[in-house]
Amino acid sequence: MKKNRLFEPYSLKGVEFKNRIAMAPMCQYSAENDGLIQNWHRVHYISRAVGQVGMIITEATAVESRGRISCKDLGIWDDDMMSSFSELVQQVQSHGCKLGIQIAHAGRKAVVPGELIVAPSAIAFNDQFPIPMELNEAEIEVIIRDFGNGVKRAVEIGVDFVEIHAAHGYLINQFLSPLTNQRTDAYGQDRSLFLKQVLEEAHLYIPKQMPVFLRVSAEDYIDEGIHPEEICRLLDPLKELIDLVHVSSGGVVENAVIKMFPGYQVAFANIIKKQLQLPVMAVGMLESPELAEKILQDEEADFIALGRELLRNPYWPLQAAKTLGENIQWPEAYQRAKP
């Protein structure tokens, strides 16, 4: 049988992924208010590892309590949160799947009762959200350290990589986009400064052989917002701190018009790949195995991330292999079901 790129191994630094299929981060809204892993998360993530994805990126995991998207989100702001994560990491890895935690802060898009939300500028997401408190430089420094401590805990838990969440209108994205960052200080004059400092802080704790992913929104879908060429300009001075760019779009404002179709974000990933000369992960309605394979064959991306399709079908990789005529290893317990 022919070899398809979708099922080729790929190495980043000291980590080899058994294939190019990733499970994208998707909030499960299934934690308690303490931000801890629950049985739902164990079943959810481990079943996709059994289904033979090459990597799993956990849902947005907050570096402080007020940085959660909701009070049902996971957190990594305290050492007591580490033990339940460690068990999950080990279980996922036992199926040959690599696991990374998406380290995140929601900024002005946080919906956590009793918490004061914060942002680079005092601009509400919409009229249903409160006006956030504009962060001063001392408060920014605290959050940067929170990101570093979150990365440190992730490393100690035993993850294979980390992903810094700078997309979908959350805090780092709010600093990057001119639609949400109207500061006049250094963080406004250089909208990539906050991201740079977060990445530098993260690297204080990252082992030499561990990859660092960056999730970005490459297009704001508003004329005055970010477009792919602009995100390349912002990331270019930082690319020595990034091993892979996970390319998404939208989320920073709610009135953007997004025309979605299979592969609608792939062109953004391809621009970043070519201009920054970095590996990229494409995402967005890529559930067709033939389309996923073509994107890799055309070298528009290096990994394919699936979100909702893996909610519908945890065993998509096994079925995609059959569609593409690829003979891959099935879990031993499932061998008699292999076509």
Please give the average per-residue pLDDT across 122-139, as a whole number: 97
* pLDDT above 90: residue 314: yes
What topology is assigned to 5-337 in CATH? TIM Barrel (3.20.20)
pLDDT tens-digit readout, 270-308 = 999 999 999 999 999 999 999 999 999 999 999 999 999
The 10s digit of each residue's pLDDT in 173-202 is 999 999 999 999 999 999 999 999 999 999
pTM over 0.85: yes
Rg (CA), the chain: 19
Q: Does residue 127 register a pLDDT over 80? A: yes
> What pLDDT score was predicted for residue 2?
55
Conformation bin of residue 13: beta by default, left when phi > 0, alpha when psi is -120 to 50: left
At 222-269, the pLDDT tens digits run 999 999 999 999 999 999 999 999 999 999 999 899 999 999 999 999
d(CA 248, CA 198): 20
The pLDDT of residue 115: 94
Q: Which three-class secondary structure state does DSSP give residue 234?
A: helix
Tell whether the model's pLDDT for residue 73 goes beyond 60.
Answer: yes
